Amino acid sequence: MEKSIITTGKVLRQILIGQLQNISENQFDIQAKGFNNTIRWNIGHIVYWMDKYSQLSFGLKSDIPTEYEMLFGSGTKPSEWTTTPPSKEELLEQLKAQLIRFSELTPEMLDMNLESPFIMGPFQFVSSGELFNFALMHEAIHLGVISSQLKAVQ
């Protein structure tokens, strides 16, 4: 079962990267009516949280710039940015680097218990696999938002 979660993660990330290839850099920053953020923000948010979840789940060191937290952490908004966000190319490179790291995961890694349970609202994750699976659900949700934003800006 754990192997299928890793495969799902790789497939999901490949779909995301594939969809982003066809979006122009200009479209990354259009905040469509009804949305409180942009395509660029959603991509950065995915990168930021997958990095965070990988640290918590597997003890991996962070591979992203520290400013990603103030740009893409929960509750942030592009309208409040005071620094230049990463380019489309940089974000794609981060997504691809994380995809490579997915290939280094093993089913045994997903069976490990977290140092302490990760609690998010009413939810509690105890194992690395549970948290990684949640990270994939989170990514899929934001992929759906990106798809909706793209339709709204075209």
Q: Hey, how many other C-beta atoms are within 10 angstroms of the C-beta on 90?
A: 14
What share of the chain has pLDDT > 70, as a percent?
99
Write down the pTM of the prediction: 0.94
Please state, in angstroms and rounded to a whole number, the distance separating the CA atoms of residues 77 and 128: 29
Distance CA 131, CA 116 (A): 12
Which pLDDT tens digit goes with each residue over 115-138?
A: 999 999 999 999 999 999 999 999
- Residues with Cβ < 8 Å from 114, sequence gap 6 or more? 56, 57, 125, 126, 127, 128, 131
Instruction: List the alpha helices (DSSP H) in the chain.
Output: 2-21, 39-58, 68-72, 88-103, 107-111, 128-153
CB atoms within 10 A of CB 142: 19
Give the DSSP letter of residue 15. H
Share of the chain above pLDDT 90, in %: 92
Say how far apart CA 44 and CA 86 lie, in whole Å.
8
* Largest CA-CA distance found in the chain, in angstroms, rounded: 45
* Contacts (Cβ under 8 Å, ≥6 apart) of 86: 44, 65, 68, 71, 94
- 37-88 confidence digits (pLDDT tens): 999 999 999 999 999 999 999 988 998 999 999 999 999 999 999 999 999 9
Say which amino acid occupies 141.
Answer: I
Question: Cα separation of 3 and 133, whole Å?
Answer: 12
Given a cut of 80, whether residue 12 has pLDDT beyond it is yes
